[in-house]
Amino acid sequence: MSAIIIMLLGSLLIASGFLLAFLWSVKNGQYDDDYSPAQRILFDDADKDKPTK
C-alpha cells in the first residue's frame, strides 16, 4: 500500500473522531442552551465548605 492510502486512512480516522465528538455533544444537549454554561462557570463556588455530594 502506498503512503497516500495510509495518510488518507489516518485523516479519515481523525475526521471521524471529530464527527463522533460533534454527534456526542449534540446528543449530550450541549447545543440546547448556549447561555447558561457560559454564565455558570463565572459564578463563585459558594458551597466549597460544604461536603460535596
Partner 1 sequence: MKVDQAVIKTCFHCGENCTSGKIFLQEKQFCCDGCKLVYELLNENDLCTYYNLNSNPGISQKIKIRQDKFLFLDDVEVKNKLIQFTDGSKTHVTFYLPQIHCSSCLWLLENIHNINKGIVHAKVNFINKEVFIIFSEQETSLRKVVETLTYIGYEPHISLQELDENKLTVVNHTQLYKIGIAGFCFVNIMMMSLPEYFSSTGKVEDNIHQILQALVVVFSLPVIFYCASDFFITAWKGLRNKFLNIDTPIALAILITFCRSIYEIFSGTGTGYLDSMSGIVFFMLIGRMLQQKTYHSISFERDYKSFFPVAINVLKDNVAKPTIIHNVKVGDVIQIYNNELIPVDAILSKGNASIDYSFVSGESLPVAKEIGEIIYAGGKQLNGILELIVVKEVSQSYLTNLWNKDVFKTQSEEQEQSSFIHWLSKYFTFIVLSVAFIAAAYWLSQHQYNKMWNTLTTVLIVACPCALLLASTFTNGNILRILSKNKLYLRHADMIERLTKINHVVFDKTGTITEQKTLQIEYQGNPFTTTDKINIASIMLQSSHPLSKAIVEYLHVLDTIEIHDLKIIHGSGVEAWINDRHYKIGSYDFIQNAKNISNIELKSSSVFVMIDNKVIGDFKINQQYRFGLKELIQQLRNKFAVSIISGDNNSEKQQLQTIFGQETSLLFNQKPAQKFDYIEHLKKIKHQNVLFIGDGLNDAGALKAGNIGIAITENANNFTPSCDGILDASQFSNLYSFIQLAVAGNNIILLSFLLSIIYNVIGLYFAVQGTLSPLIAAVLMPCSSITIVLITYGLTQFHAIKLKLQT
Query: Shortest distance, CB of residue 25 to partner 1, whole angstroms?
Result: 9
In degrees and rounded to multiples of 5, residue 43 shows phi and psi of -70, 140
Question: 5 vs 51, which CB is nearer to partner 1?
Answer: 5
In degrees and rounded to multiples of 5, residue 2 shows phi and psi of -80, 165
Nearest to 22 by CA among 31, 34, 9: 31
Question: 40 vs 51, which CB is nearer to partner 1?
Answer: 40
Interface positions with partner 1 (CB under 8 A): 2, 4-5, 8, 11-12, 15-16, 18-19, 22-23, 26-27, 29, 31-36, 39-40, 42-44, 46, 53
| Three cell numbers, residue 36 | 447558561
